[in-house]
Chain A
Amino acid sequence: MAAPESGDGNNGAARMVTLISSDNTRFEVEAAAASLSQTLQLTILDGGGGGGDGIPLPNVDSATLSKVLEYCIKHAPAAANGGAPNATAVDRAELERFDNEFVNIDQSVLYSLIMAAHNLEIEGLQSLVAKKVADMIKGKSPMEIRRTLGFPDPTPEEQAEMNAHMLEYGWAYE
């Protein structure tokens, strides 16, 4: 077996855990990163995911999981600080830059991501994606939003309902 204790004696190497995606790909990450997921955190605190055992994630495929972990690894140091006190403006700017870049992805990936973030209870990621989706539809007309989010064109019946709605909530369209 590879020597797990390759660290500097006192603390040793960071604890690693293995996550297994729905398509059976194994991902080895630091426990601190995986612990951004409230769901995983409990398992990891109980000592799960180490050694040969992995934590199976039947709802998350490998493409999504690698993306999720990319986020977790980036955000883990900040989360470990427990709060803002030690974060410099540079750190924050860097995280923000990363976040912006991170969600600059295809819609289907956004969808998988927000579902995964929800299942794994990674609040920051869920908010990040939700905000991205909100940005995508911000300032668009209803028809443009429909197209952006991939709704089919409205049936005449739906159109009638919309018109009725616009009458009822006229104040929002003033």
Chain B
Amino acid sequence: MADGGGKKAVADRLSGLPDHLLQHVLSFLPSIRAVRTCVLSRRYPEQWKSVPAIRITRADAMRYLGPSALNRIVNCLLLFRNKLPLDEIKTPFLESMPFLMDAFVRLQQSDDCCQNCYEAGDCGDQSCKGCRGINYGKNTCVLLEALSSATKLELLASPEVFIFRRDLAQCPMFFKLKTLLLNEWCLTANHGAFLSPALTSFGEAYSSIHYNLVEMGASYNLKKQSLILKNFTLEIKCDQVDDRIRRVLEIFCSYGLPMEKIKIKPLPMSFDTQFHDTWSSGSRFQFRAEYIVTLLEAWSHYFEQLDIVMSMMAVLYLDNWECIDQECQF
């Protein structure tokens, strides 16, 4: 045991990181790699199961070409994660995962992009690599159906990637969903990608909303649907309130979503480089005064009772921004 000398003690230290920090480290690895770290030591075997992210990398996408193959690997990753009792698992398909409460799925550099910009793929063009690769049935829900028991979902992908949109077009029901985090993939080309750097967190009424969003060529008329928004919170993170954000606000306001259920937060500084962490960490961000003012001006479009908006502004100033720092509760 005692060979090595002093050098070893130093080198050993990284291996001595506490579990949660180790998980943080592993969360930066492609999941398949993280799984492989189980072989490192006795302490490692369980680590990857608690890692808060599932990372499917470009290399993975190359190896597991097409969404259904990719699906298989995501299935495996999800199936073996900590919250799932292993003996409950019979089949490595993402068909039903009743024990999954909390899922974070980020598709990074997926090949499932349609060169003809069909929102949900299936363009029928044989030269389109992304759509050609679809080898599952037209009415198959690749990823999301299996996650339908989740109470919290984070689904992140670049805007071109259509898997999530495609899945949502199948209209899976999320009966227990309380929080849903999405990024700009949920905004489709024929609406001018109006919510680009935005995150929304929806409540129970979510799935029917997105049914319209993903239909190719659908006109964006959510007013036709009657939604019950009483248990519904909308949260948007964005650089600034531009037309796309206004459009979103307009849509939700037209449903009668009360103001206090809308939260708007600025994007964190490191958005570009640390996408995953900033989206999921829930850290505190300072508001700037101009930001708030812009925001309220934008909002006044949507609320006829301007005096309410004005009085909110007063509260914000009085509280020196502190109260909205964490929750942005208007």
Q: List residues of A whose CB falls within 8 A of some B CB.
A: 38, 78-85, 87, 92, 96, 107-108, 110-111, 114-115, 118, 123-124, 126-127, 130-131, 133-135, 137-139, 142, 145-146, 149-152, 154, 158, 161-162, 165-166, 169, 171-173
B284 at the interface (CB under 8 A from A): yes
With a cutoff of 8 Å between Cβ atoms, the chain A residues found around residue B12 in the complex are 150-152
| Bound Cα distance from A135 to B36, whole angstroms | 15
Contact of B36 among A92, A131, A158, A173 (CB under 8 A): A173
Secondary structure class of chain A's binding surface, majority of residues: helix
Tell me if A145 and B269 are in contact (CB < 8 A): no
Q: Kindly provide the distance from the CB of B7 to the nearest chain A CB, expressed in whole angstroms.
A: 9
Asked whether B288 lies within 8 Å of A82 as measured between CB atoms, the reply is: yes
Cβ–Cβ contact A82 & B14, under 8 A: no
Known contacts A81-B269, A82-B286, A130-B25; A150/B38 CB under 8 A: no
Enumerate chain B residues within 8 angstroms of A150, measured Cβ to Cβ: 8, 10-15
**Whole-angstrom CA separation of A96 from B73 in the bound complex:** 32
Interface digits, B1-43 against A, CB 8 Å rule (1 contact, 0 not)? 0000000101111111110010011111110110111111110
- A170 and B11 CA atoms in complex are apart in Å by 30
Residues in B neighbouring A107, C-beta threshold 8 A: 10-11, 13-14
Docked complex Cα distance between A78 and B267 (Å): 12
B35 pairs with A79, CB closer than 8 A: no
Q: How far is the CA of A165 from the CA of B38 in the complex (A)?
A: 8
Judge whether B99 is part of the interface by a CB distance below 8 angstroms. Answer: no
**Residue of A83, A162, A165 touching B266 (CB-CB under 8 A):** A83
Residue of B28, B30, B76, B274 near A171 (CB, 8 A) is B76
Q: Let me know if B220 is at the binding interface, CB within 8 A.
A: no
**A149 near B239: Cβ-Cβ < 8 Å:** no
**B25 contacts A134, C-beta separation under 8 Å:** yes
- In the complex, the answer to whether B277 meets A166 with C-beta atoms within 8 Å is no
A171 touches B283 (CB 8 A): no
- Are A135 and B28 in contact (CB-based, < 8 A)? yes
- B239 near A84: Cβ-Cβ < 8 Å: yes
> Are B29 and A138 touching (Cβ within 8 A)?
yes
Q: Could you give, for residues 81-111 of chain B, a 1 whenever the CB lies within 8 Å of some chain A CB and a 0 otherwise? A: 0000000000010000000000000000000
Contacts of B14 in A (CB 8 A): 107, 110-111, 133, 149-150
Residues of B within 8 A of A131 (CB): 28, 274
Contacts of A85 in B (CB 8 A): 239-240, 266, 288, 291
**Of A81, A114, A133, which contacts B288 at CB under 8 A?**
A81
> Given A110-B14, A150-B11, A150-B13, does the pair A38, B284 have CB atoms closer than 8 Å?
yes
User: B10, B33, B80, B269 — which one has the most chain A CB atoms within 10 A of its CB?
Assistant: B269
**A161 lies within 8 A of B42 (CB):** yes
Can you name 28 A-B residue pairings with CB atoms under 8 Å? A78-B269, A83-B286, A84-B268, A84-B272, A107-B10, A108-B10, A114-B17, A123-B283, A124-B270, A130-B28, A134-B28, A137-B33, A138-B29, A138-B33, A145-B37, A149-B11, A149-B14, A150-B11, A150-B13, A152-B12, A158-B42, A165-B38, A165-B45, A169-B38, A169-B76, A171-B92, A172-B32, A172-B76
B92 proximity list for chain A (CB < 8 A): 171
Chain B residues lying within 8 Å of A154, measured Cβ to Cβ, are 41
Q: How far is the CA of A169 from the CA of B80 in the complex (A)?
A: 9
| B273 contacts chain A at the CB level, 8 A cutoff | yes
